């Protein structure tokens, strides 16, 4: 069975084609800058060269059409025809309180996604457009929704209810939902494997640090708190999002400047965070480079971000009482030794000790690494995330009628014997260039 997964972001579409029988990735890629000038597709098919092609993509429908065209391309494609695809898995950012696990999409579910779209105005509309476009192109196959919010449906009420008029929750569904759930599920299950424990025996703090950033407290294998809230705006400092602020700031600036509500929402989501502080950088690699060259605002942005990360670690440590592992994941979490080192610095009294030499070695998306320091009571792992494998396995299990909530369902990557074939192949080349990486591999493939 060949499964296509689609992850439609506000301005991008990531995709993967997976052969279930062969457990092999046939193709992967991303369409960037959807709805903006300069849009392009980056595509890779197994055994072929990676290609990058510019193509105007004014919306997600055009992006989906471009992806299917590339998958069938005579030179760079991976499929003989679209009939080879037997199912499609879609990432859906917001499922409100209605969905606690992945589902097969029908018209009723799609209408619910539309009804709750105002809870995630930057993401759900793009998700919906991607679903509708894919259903038009592939009308005869099942389409499944994998909800980012589902992982956090185990949070207790005292963790997700805001100290606001209670009728806002009753009438308008105002509560903490949390996001990055597909990623957080994957790394939590993998952490249990690395710890050689059952998931239900694990207490974890995960830091998903990319353009979007969130922290997750996991107690006895389930999510009990997370930093993002009603929307992905709350919590940690992000690439363009402010994270936690005094809400009165918005009213103050609106009175002072005359900024309208819509513009303020845009500023908080797209012009704040690291970009707001530095005035020009979003990519943390650019921030680090600028800081090394003496840019004071870049230095400040780094310190603000890691300080907020440390505060959340402390808060979640207190909430959990015992922590088995601190996990770094996503682009920055996986690839930036500087951000990891600064985040953990000073946490020794909490029993969190990092080996800074091992930390410097860990810059890979192909293998999990153990960067725990001597005498640390808490394991420190870097676990490359894999949202697509969760989407693929949920889709397959739904079609086979064997799927259930994650506490009652076992993924293939929960086994010690699990190997991501494509990452294992890439790791071979990486070890030739960086043989010392072998010393910090958390679990030998």
Give SS3 for 441.
strand
Do the beta carbons of residue 233 and residue 242 sit within 8 Å? yes
Q: What is the mean pLDDT of the chain?
A: 93
Whether 181-383+415-440 and 2-147+389-413 are alike in CATH topology: the answer is yes
Higher-pLDDT residue of 186 and 425 is 186
Q: Which of 148, 370, 386, 394 is catalytic?
A: 148
pLDDT of 171 reads 93
Q: What is the DSSP string of 32-61?
A: ESTTSTT-EEEEEETTS--EEEE---SSHH
Q: What is the DSSP string of 155-221?
A: --HHHH--SS-HHHHHHH--S-----HHHHHHHHHHHHHHHTS-GGG--EEEEEESSSEEEEEEETT
Q: Note the pLDDT tens digit of each residue in 276-296.
A: 999 999 999 999 999 999 999
Confidence of residue 373 (pLDDT cuts 50, 70, 90): very high
Structure-token match 């389409």, residue found: 143
pLDDT at 115 over 70: yes
Do the beta carbons of residue 165 and residue 349 sit within 8 Å? no
- Among 147-151, 166-170, 196-200, 331-335, the minimum mean pLDDT is found in 147-151
Both tokens assigned to 436: 């010392």
Residue 260 CA to residue 192 CA, distance in Å, equals 47
pLDDT of 400 reads 94
Structure-token match 């509708």, residue found: 132
pLDDT at 164 over 90: yes
pLDDT at 267 over 60: yes
pLDDT at 206 over 90: yes
pLDDT of 122 reads 72
pLDDT at 383 over 70: yes
For the domain with range 2-147+389-413, which CATH number is right: 3.40.50.1980, 2.60.40.1180, 3.90.1720.10, 3.30.420.40? 3.30.420.40
Contacts of 96 (CB under 8 A, 6+ apart): 112, 116, 119, 149, 173, 177
Q: Taking the alpha carbons of 74, 76, 82, 84 in that order, is the dihedral positive or negative?
A: positive
Contacts of 193 (CB under 8 A, 6+ apart): 413, 414, 415, 416, 418, 443
pLDDT at 445 over 70: no
Is 148 part of the annotated catalytic residue set? Answer: yes
Is domain 181-383+415-440 in CATH 3.30.420.40, yes or no?
A: yes
- The CA-based dihedral angle spanning residues 69, 74, 80, 82, taken in that order and rounded to the nearest 10 degrees: 10
Both tokens assigned to 307: 């300080």
Contacts of 404 (CB under 8 A, 6+ apart): 101
Q: Note the pLDDT tens digit of each residue in 384-414.
A: 999 999 999 999 999 999 999 999 999 999 9
Longest dimension (CA), the chain: 61
pLDDT over 70 for what percent of the chain?
100
Both tokens assigned to 441: 């591999």
Q: Note the pLDDT tens digit of each residue in 3-12.
A: 999 998 777 8
Q: Note the pLDDT tens digit of each residue in 215-265.
A: 999 999 999 999 999 999 999 999 999 999 999 999 999 999 999 999 999
Do the beta carbons of residue 326 and residue 380 sit within 8 Å? yes
- All structural domains of the chain with their residue ranges: 2-147+389-413, 181-383+415-440
H helix or E strand, kind and range, residue 304: helix 296-320
pLDDT of 382 reads 98
Q: Give strand pairing partners of 43.
A: 29, 51
Do the beta carbons of residue 319 and residue 302 sit within 8 Å? no
pLDDT of 198 reads 96
Residue 267 CA to residue 258 CA, distance in Å, equals 14
Global pTM reads 0.93
pLDDT of 242 reads 96
Q: Note the pLDDT tens digit of each residue in 62-109.
A: 999 999 999 998 888 899 988 899 999 999 988 888 888 899 999 999
Do the beta carbons of residue 171 and residue 199 sit within 8 Å? no
Q: Note the pLDDT tens digit of each residue in 20-64.
A: 998 889 999 999 888 888 889 999 998 898 899 999 888 888 999
What b/e string do you get for 145-179 counting C-beta neighbours within 10 Å, with b at 16 or more?
bbbbbbbbbbbeeebbeeeeeeeebeeeebbbbbb
pLDDT over 90 for what percent of the chain?
78
Residue 316 CA to residue 319 CA, distance in Å, equals 5
Helices (H) and strands (E) in the chain, counts: 16, 14
Based on the number of CB atoms within 10 Å of its own CB, is 431 exposed (0-12), middle (13-18) or buried (19 or more)? middle
pLDDT of 98 reads 84
């Amino acid at each position: 069975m060949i499964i296509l997964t689609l992850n439609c972001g506000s301005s991008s579409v990531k995709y993967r084609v997976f052969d279930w029988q062969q457990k092999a990735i046939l193709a992967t890629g991303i369409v960037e800058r959807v709805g903006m000038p300069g849009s392009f597709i980056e595509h890779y098919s197994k055994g072929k060269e990676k290609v990058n092609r510019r193509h105007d993509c004014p919306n997600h429908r055009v992006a989906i059409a471009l992806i299917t065209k590339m998958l069938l391309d005579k030179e760079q494609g991976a499929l003989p025809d679209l009939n080879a695809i037997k199912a499609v898995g879609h990432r859906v950012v917001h499922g409100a309180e209605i969905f606690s696990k992945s589902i097969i999409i029908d018209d009723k579910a799609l209408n619910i996604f539309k009804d709750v779209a105002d809870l995630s105005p930057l993401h759900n509309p793009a998700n919906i457009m991607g679903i509708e476009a894919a259903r038009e192109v592939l009308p005869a196959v099942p389409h499944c929704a994998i909800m980012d919010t589902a992982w956090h449906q185990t949070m207790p009420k005292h963790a997700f209810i805001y100290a606001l008029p209670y009728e806002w929750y009753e009438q308008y569904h105002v509560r903490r939902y949390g996001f990055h759930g597909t990623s957080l599920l994957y790394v939590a299950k993998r952490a249990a494997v690395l710890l050689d424990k059952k998931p239900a025996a694990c207490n974890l703090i995960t830091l998903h640090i990319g353009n979007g950033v969130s922290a997750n407290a996991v107690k006895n294998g389930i999510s009990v708190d997370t930093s993002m809230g009603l929307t992905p705006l709350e919590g940690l400092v992000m690439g363009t999002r402010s994270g936690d602020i005094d809400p009165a700031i918005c009213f103050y600036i609106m009175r002072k400047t005359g900024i309208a509500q819509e513009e303020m929402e845009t500023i908080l989501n797209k012009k704040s965070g690291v970009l707001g502080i530095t005035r020009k950088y979003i990519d943390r690699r650019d921030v680090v480079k600028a800081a090394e060259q003496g840019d004071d605002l870049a230095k400040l942005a780094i310190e603000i971000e890691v300080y907020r990360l440390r505060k959340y670690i402390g808060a979640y440590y207190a909430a959990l009482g015992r922590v088995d592992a601190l996990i770094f994941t996503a682009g920055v979490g996986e690839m930036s030794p500087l951000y990891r080192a600064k985040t953990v610095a000073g946490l020794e009294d909490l029993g969190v000790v990092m080996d800074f030499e091992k930390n410097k070695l860990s810059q890979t998306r192909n293998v999990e690494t153990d960067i725990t320091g001597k005498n640390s009571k808490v394991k420190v792992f870097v676990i490359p995330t894999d949202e697509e494998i969760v989407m693929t396995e949920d889709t397959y299990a739904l079609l086979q009628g064997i799927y259930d909530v994650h506490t009652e369902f076992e993924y293939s990557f929960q086994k010690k014997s699990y190997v991501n074939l494509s990452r294992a192949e890439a790791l071979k080349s990486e070890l030739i260039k960086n043989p010392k990486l072998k010393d910090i591999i958390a679990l030998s493939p």
